[in-house]
A and B are shown apart, each in its own frame.
Chain A
Amino acid sequence: MSKAVNIADGQGRLYISWKDQLTGMAFAAPYLVGICIFLLFPLAMSLYYSFCDYSMLQPPLWIGLDNYRHLLTDDTFHIALINTLIYAAISVPCTLAWSIFLAILLNRQIRSQGIYRTIIFLPTLVPLVATGIIWNWLFNSDSGLINYFLRPVLGLVGGIAAHVAAWLGAGPATLQALHDISPPAWLGDPNWAMTAIIFVSFWGVGQTVVIFLAGLQDIPAELYEAAQIDGAGSWGRLRHVTLPMLSPVIFFNLIMGIIGSWQFFDIPYVMTAGGPGRATLVYSLYLFNAAFNELRMGAASAMAWILFLIILALTALAFWSAKKWVHYS
Chain B
Amino acid sequence: MNTKNRLFTHALLVIIALFYLGPFLWMLDTSLKTDPQAIQMPKEFSIHDFKALVVPTPWQWQNYPQVIHDPHFDFSLYARNTLIIAVLVALGAMLSSSLVAYSLAKVKWRGRNIVFVIVLASMMLPFPVVMVPLYRIFREFGWIGTNLPLWVPAFTGIPFYIFLLRQFYLTIPTELSEAALIDGCSHFGIWWRIMLPLTRPALAVVGLFSFMAAWNNFLGPLVYLTHQNTFTLALALQNYQSRSGGTSYTLLMAASVLIIAPIIVLFFLAQKTFVRGIATTGIKG
Contacts and interface: CB of A to CB of B under 8 A. Distances in A.
Q: Within the complex, are A and B direct neighbours (CB within 8 Å)?
A: yes
Interface of A: 1, 4-6, 14, 16, 20-21, 23-28, 30-35, 37-39, 41-43, 45-46, 49, 54, 56, 102, 105-106, 108-110, 116-123, 125-130, 133-135, 137-138, 142-145, 147-149, 151-152, 203, 206-207, 210-215, 218, 249, 252-253, 256, 259, 262-263, 265-266, 269-270, 284, 287-288, 291-292, 297, 300-301, 303-305, 307-308, 311-312, 315
28 contacts: A1-B184, A16-B108, A16-B110, A20-B109, A27-B107, A28-B112, A31-B119, A38-B130, A43-B129, A102-B16, A110-B13, A122-B264, A128-B216, A134-B23, A134-B26, A134-B27, A143-B39, A148-B42, A206-B20, A214-B279, A263-B128, A269-B238, A288-B128, A300-B132, A301-B132, A307-B129, A312-B124, A315-B124
B260 A135 contact: no
A166 to B, nearest CB: 24
Contact of B263 (A30, A43, A125, A137): A125
Contact of B131 (A26, A253, A291): A291
B136 interface: yes
A270 B10 CA distance: 35
B218 A129 contact: yes
A148 B53 contact: yes
Contact of B133 (A45, A110, A142, A311): A45
B132 A56 contact: yes
Interface of B: 1, 5-6, 9-10, 12-13, 16-17, 19-24, 26-27, 30, 38-45, 53, 96, 99-100, 102-104, 107-112, 115, 118-119, 122-137, 153, 155-157, 162, 178, 181-182, 184, 186-188, 191, 212, 215-216, 218-219, 223, 233-235, 237-238, 241, 249, 252-253, 256, 259-260, 263-264, 267, 271, 274-275, 278-283, 285
Main secondary structure of the interface of A (DSSP, over half): helix
Contacts of A21: 109-110
A127 B43 CA distance: 32
Given A45-B136, A211-B282, A110 B41 contact: no
Nearest to A23: B187
A301 to B, nearest CB: 6
B191 A27 contact: yes
B242 to A, nearest CB: 9
Given A137-B253, A210-B279, A303 B128 contact: yes
A214 B278 contact: yes
A43 B131 CA distance: 10
Contact of B137 (A37, A110, A137): A37
Instruction: List the 3 shortest-distance A-B pairs measured between CB atoms, nearest first.
Output: A34-B156, A24-B109, A211-B282
Contacts of A41: 133, 137
B128 A20 contact: no
Contact of A5 (B1, B112, B119, B182): B182
Contacts of A33: 156
A179 B30 CA distance: 31
Contacts of A270: 238, 241
A137 to B, nearest CB: 6
A130 B131 CA distance: 23
